[in-house]
Structure 1
Amino acid sequence: MGGDLKLLMAEDNEINRKLADLLFKRQGFNLDFAVNGEAALESAVNGSYDLIFMDIEMPIMGGLEATRRIQDEMGDSAPPIIALTAHAMDGDRERFMEAGMSDYLTKPIDLGALQEIISRHTS
């Protein structure tokens, strides 16, 4: 499934990064990581990613702020940004979309949902 897609994940938790790396590699994806929103912003602007997975709560700069800044700096050339959250409460989806995110995944990441999201936003 992986192909030549270039993916970025912003995730501050080291264990979550290791688990995601294993999951994505098993699916044939190469995944770059940013440890906070500020690093994600820099990577997004300086890289050419097909899709960004963005944790919501991170130190230095959270996922919503990073998403807004990526959208501001990159405009229409910004890749789809997928929210990663451990808690999907009523109203969260709307908050994510208002910040410029394209979709969201709950943690822990479900393989079927991951494949569907990647297919939906990179086809």
Structure 2
Amino acid sequence: MMVVENTYTPYYNHIVYSYPSDVRRLWKQGKVLMLDIRTPQEYVAHHVPGSVLIPMDYLEELSHYFSDKEVAVICEHGNRAYYATFGMPHLYRRRAYYLAGGLQAWMYMGYEVVRGLDEGAKVWKELLNSQSVRSRA
């Protein structure tokens, strides 16, 4: 029996389709930035500890924040994250991991989540206060 851990797309070799166990291992090793692309309200409800909030509507505008890092792109069910990784591959200069199943799969596996605002949301608040983003908000 063969176990598939990661799959790569032939079109974008810097994007990896990954499962929660693989993403969690990389996150625990400090190899990826957890990029939460949900809304601020969803982030407050529950998120991965230490993840950075940048809602999907602002990804292109704020890609300079994460373009030099390896990121795991996460959302609630995986749909937005799929679009944000495979539909916008130009945003990632380094490797991007798509979290299959999103936070629902993450929580189903029993992995850690926290509630409320934390350091990851502070990044979002600082970006909201910047002139380029304030005009859209």
| Shorter-chain TM-score range | 0.3 to 0.5
RCO higher in structure (CA 8 A, sep ≥6): 2
Greater share of residues in strand: 1
* TM-score, length-scaled by structure 2: 0.41
- Rg larger in structure: 2
